[in-house]
């Protein structure tokens, strides 16, 4: 291989790794409980894990080679998930949730983003919990949702402290 091609490949690899690190930093700034897993992660090169101390909520965020992100969170309080999603999207964005996710009853609510083929699914469980499954969206969209989730968790903590 020609030396200038080798140099170009190394430069590209370095910038790619810096972009992956920057994406992970962005996710942790938006949702500080996320922890970066060491490679190999079992899926994408960059994977961040989250688990509530009380074991109630958990999940992960993966960032693939195309800077698309996947988020899988389980057992998020419905009020928290609903507040965050309704803040980001507004009401009636998800199929079947005309008044917003926060007001939706038990069931599966879905939205597909035609611009990037992202799939957003919220499963509201009986008993006040929800699961979030978001696939193939851009990393800044996931960071936006993570920030809204962090704020919603903080708001719930304030409400719990007041009661």
Band of pLDDT at residue 113, cut at 50, 70 and 90: confident
Band of pLDDT at residue 159, cut at 50, 70 and 90: confident
| Residue 11, H or E segment | helix 3-30
Residues 134 and 112 sit within 8 Å (Cβ to Cβ): no
63, burial (CB in 10 Å: exposed 0-12, middle 13-18, buried 19+): buried
Token digits of residue 114:
């035609």
Residues 57 and 74 sit within 8 Å (Cβ to Cβ): yes
| Residue 71, H or E segment | strand 68-77
pLDDT in tens, 48-79: 999 987 777 999 999 988 889 999 999 999 99
158: left (phi over 0), alpha (psi -120 to 50) or beta: alpha
CA dist 118 and 68 (Å) reads 9
Q: Global pTM?
A: 0.90
**Nearest residue to 31 via CA among 157, 146, 137:** 146
């Amino acid at each position: 291989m020609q030396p200038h091609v080798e140099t170009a490949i190394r430069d590209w690899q370095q910038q790619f790794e810096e972009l992956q690190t920057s994406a992970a930093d962005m996710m942790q700034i938006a949702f500080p409980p996320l922890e970066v897993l060491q490679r190999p992660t079992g899926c994408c090169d960059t994977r961040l894990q989250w688990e509530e101390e009380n074991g109630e909520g958990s999940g992960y965020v993966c960032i693939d080679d195309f800077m698309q992100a996947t988020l899988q969170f389980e057992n998020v309080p419905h009020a928290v998930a609903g507040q965050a999603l309704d803040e980001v999207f507004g009401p009636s964005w998800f199929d079947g949730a005309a008044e917003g996710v926060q007001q939706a009853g038990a069931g599966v609510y879905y939205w597909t983003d035609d611009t990037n083929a992202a799939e957003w699914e919220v499963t509201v469980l009986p008993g006040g919990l929800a699961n979030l499954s978001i696939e193939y969206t851009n990393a800044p969209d996931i960071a936006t949702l993570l920030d809204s989730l962090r704020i919603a968790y903080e708001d719930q903590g304030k409400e719990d402290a007041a009661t």
